[in-house]
Copies of this chain bind each other. A is one copy, B any other.
């Protein structure tokens, strides 16, 4: 059966590279330095690995020019993202993990888990479309819903917006927002966007007002609501 070896294991660090490129560049291309920074690996090691990934047909890579994912590379990356997000959902929903604990555990687990496990987990969770951060979970067939959300600061003043996701970079930020109910799904009205310091003032459904500065405002992504 030629062409049937779709699911050979693929060492765990290979997946990390693919995910990194996908995260950094999406469909575009990622530089050695960016990947190096993302994975905390020396640039020289990245160069080396990108060469190998190209030989495997997972990335397109040109010396001094950075790398971008091939179809297969993207597929593989999305498969890992799917695993990661489903596992995070499980850890938060069923095992009582907190935001901060979840990421590392999921990072390790996503490399150990089989497709079988992933799909059964999806089943258990009721095939969620989004993870707890609000990020879309790629479908089992590798499809990913296009993400049309925008940073809170770029929303139109006076508009009604719904929080679509909260970026998972910083734990204190997540905690702060979580405590105030600023989580995916929440409906807000944008009251003011001050261009000097980027502070965004919003009003939530309960009439509470929140003023969000630099790191906070950038962590919140929203979608404009159909009816204002």
Residues of A within 8 A of B (CB): 91, 94-97, 101, 104-105, 108-109, 111-114, 116-117, 120-121, 123-124
Contacts and interface: CB of A to CB of B under 8 A. Distances in A.
Contacts of A120: 95-97
Instruction: Name the residue in A91, A105, A124 with the highest tally of chain B Cβ atoms < 10 Å from its Cβ.
Output: A105
Given A101-B116, A108-B113, 9 more contacts: A95-B120, A96-B120, A104-B114, A105-B114, A105-B116, A105-B117, A108-B112, A108-B114, A109-B117
Nearest to A110: B112
A95 B108 contact: no
A120 B91 CA distance: 9
Contact of A112 (B96, B111, B121): B111
Nearest to A113: B109
Interface class of chain A by DSSP: helix
B112 A95 contact: no
Nearest to A112: B112
A97 B120 CA distance: 9
Contact of A124 (B95, B117, B121, B123): B95
A94 B94 CA distance: 11
B109 A112 contact: yes
Contact of A94 (B96, B97, B124): B124
A104 B101 CA distance: 26
A133 to B, nearest CB: 19
A86 to B, nearest CB: 12
A120 B98 CA distance: 12
A36 B112 CA distance: 24
A47 to B, nearest CB: 26
Contacts of A91: 117
Contacts of A124: 94-95
A74 to B, nearest CB: 24
Contacts of A97: 120
Contact of A121 (B95, B101, B113, B114): B95
A132 B22 CA distance: 40
